[in-house]
């Protein structure tokens, strides 16, 4: 079983990294994702009856867009906020096409940095079935010291069903899971 790609401040993407061809995250969405990720997201949203209410706010971002987001957020909201909620360019999962930020469509304005994705209703159903379709809630409350990012209940990462089910059943972060698998392989 191949390890899922780990991207964070300690594991940046190599210069020139290019994700697989991208596909729309959801019908009507401009967010692009790696094709397997996009297909799994669409299947999950349909399975929970979330079409039209679960929105893909952000998917793939090229490094230049991640840099602009970092700089704009730094100017608008300050360094503390930016470091908590925006990954450094080259260290963002959005640059892989395997991460998606989701929002519940409430008919109002959507905060692109911290979209509203609650733990109940259709969003709760999405969250409860995410692993079976290959997704993990990437940045969980209480795990900030491990991930280096504040809790983001709207940010989901595609790792494939086998990995997602193992991560969720053990209550691990992606960092902890990759370390566990790497340690086992080196024994």
Q: Model confidence over 69-108: pLDDT tens digits?
A: 899 999 999 999 988 888 888 999 999 999 999 999 998 8
Q: Which of 144, 152, 162, 176 is catalytic?
A: 152
Compute the average pLDDT of residues 31-38. 95
- ∠ CA 92-170-47, nearest 5°, is 70
The per-residue pLDDT for 88 is: 87
Distance between CA atoms of 58 and 111, rounded to whole angstroms? Answer: 11
Is the pLDDT assigned to residue 187 strictly greater than 60?
A: no
CA contacts within 13 A on the Cβ side of 46: 9
Question: What CATH class does 23-186 carry?
Answer: alpha beta
Compute the average pLDDT of residues 60-74. 92
pLDDT tens-place string over residues 101-137:
999 999 889 988 899 999 999 999 999 999 999 999 9
Distance between CA atoms of 44 and 132, rounded to whole angstroms? Answer: 9
Q: Name the DSSP letter for residue 10.
A: T
Listed by start position, the domains of the chain span 23-186
φ and ψ at residue 146, rounded to 5 degrees: -85, -45
Distance between CA atoms of 66 and 72, rounded to whole angstroms? Answer: 10
The per-residue pLDDT for 186 is: 59
Q: Name the DSSP letter for residue 93.
A: G
**149 or 48, which is more confident:** 48
Q: Decide: 37 and 60 in contact? Cβ < 8 Å.
A: no
Active site residue 144: no
The mean of the pLDDT values for the chain is: 92
């Amino acid at each position: 079983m191949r390890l899922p790609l780990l991207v964070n401040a300690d594991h940046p993407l190599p210069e020139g990294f290019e994700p697989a061809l991208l596909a729309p995250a959801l019908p009507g969405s401009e967010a692009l994702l790696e094709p397997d990720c996009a297909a799994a997201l669409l299947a999950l949203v349909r399975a929970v009856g979330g079409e039209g209410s679960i929105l893909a706010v952000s998917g793939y971002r090229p490094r230049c867009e991640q840099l602009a987001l970092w700089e704009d957020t730094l100017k608008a909201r300050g360094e503390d906020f930016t470091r908590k909620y925006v990954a450094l360019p080259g260290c963002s999962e959005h640059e892989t096409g395997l991460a998606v930020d989701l929002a519940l469509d409430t008919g109002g304005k959507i905060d692109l940095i911290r979209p509203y994705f609650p733990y109940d209703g259709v969003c709760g159903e999405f969250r409860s079935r995410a692993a079976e379709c290959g997704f993990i809630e990437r940045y969980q409350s209480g795990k900030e010291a491990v991930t280096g990012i504040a809790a983001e209940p709207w940010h989901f990462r595609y790792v494939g069903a086998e990995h997602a089910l193992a991560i969720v059943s053990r209550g691990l972060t992606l960092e902890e899971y990759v370390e566990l698998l790497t340690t086992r392989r080196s024994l």
